[in-house]
A = this chain, B = another copy of it.
Amino acid sequence: VSARAGDLVELHAFGLPDVQAEQPAVALALDEAGISDLRYPISFDVGGQPQRTVATVALAASVADTVRGVHMSRFVEALHEWHDRLSVEGVLALLDDVLNRLGAETATVALDFPVFLERTAPVSAGAAFVPYDCRLQGEVSRASRSMTLTIRVPVTSLCPCSREISDYGAHNQRGTVEISVSLRLDGVDARVELGELIDLAEAAGSAPIYTALKRSDERFVTMNAYENPAFVEDMTRAVADALRRDERLLAGRVRVVNEESIHTHNAYASVAWHR
């Protein structure tokens, strides 16, 4: 016979031992304790519009050296409270909420989710969605707040060397421009839109990526890519050069990966900076 909720519900009122509140065997403070790999439906602000998508969430708090463990259910409760109104500001509010629910020194989050933007093909103007993978990593304490936004923008890249040394043709492939920027959190003037980062990344590639291309579009992107060859090093430099001068950013990192069409491995380049 299975236990039934009815038999046990009185325990709810009386309470049960709080094992997490015990003294730890080792008096060592922890940077983070929490939950990870939680898939959750969220609504995230994209250019002023809420977009429904699916996130993978890690949410944690620091643990003092006098406390054995955190109450894991509180992270889920906080996320459930905020899941349908997330944005950079919403994520900070979620972290403040976690800080209070847990009574912790610091709270941290990592939120991975795809954003979809409707893009129109360059000649036929047909519309379809392109996915952009995003990540928000934030940390809030009583004294400080930080937030890093990462976006991965797919591009086509065409190899300058292959084009130069060959009588015809040039190998080209899917590339990904990954941009990570540490945001200033001091007001509307410092706001960074996903669209800005996508534009920068696409301008650095040989041609943008589209989901639906008719023949007239395919002709356009083929020739466009051939006219704009770019190494991973070139793309990395072009994007980093634009961003490292941007006063809205505290720090940044650009990493470009090419899924080389002539190899089974990838080529990549990366550079990080801070102001």
Q: Of A66-74, A91-99, A181-189, which binds chain B?
A: A66-74
Chain A positions 140-195 with a Cβ under 8 Å from a chain B Cβ: 154, 156, 158-162, 164-174
User: Contact check: which of B12, B162, B216 meets A11 at CB < 8 Å?
Assistant: B216
Chain B residues, Cβ within 8 Å of A166: 218-219, 222-223, 226
Chain B residues, Cβ within 8 Å of A241: 26, 28
Asked if A271 meets B8 with Cβ closer than 8 Å, knowing A173-B174, A211-B38, A259-B174, the reply is no
User: Within the assembled complex, what's the spacing in Å between the Cα atoms of A53 and B55?
Assistant: 10
Query: How many copies, total?
Result: 4
| In contact, A30 and B269 (Cβ under 8 angstroms) | yes
Interface bracket on A: 35 or more
CB distance from A40 to the nearest CB of B (A): 6
Show 9 A/B contacts (Cβ-Cβ < 8 Å), sorted by A.
A19-B165, A31-B272, A33-B233, A38-B211, A54-B54, A69-B161, A80-B128, A173-B261, A174-B260
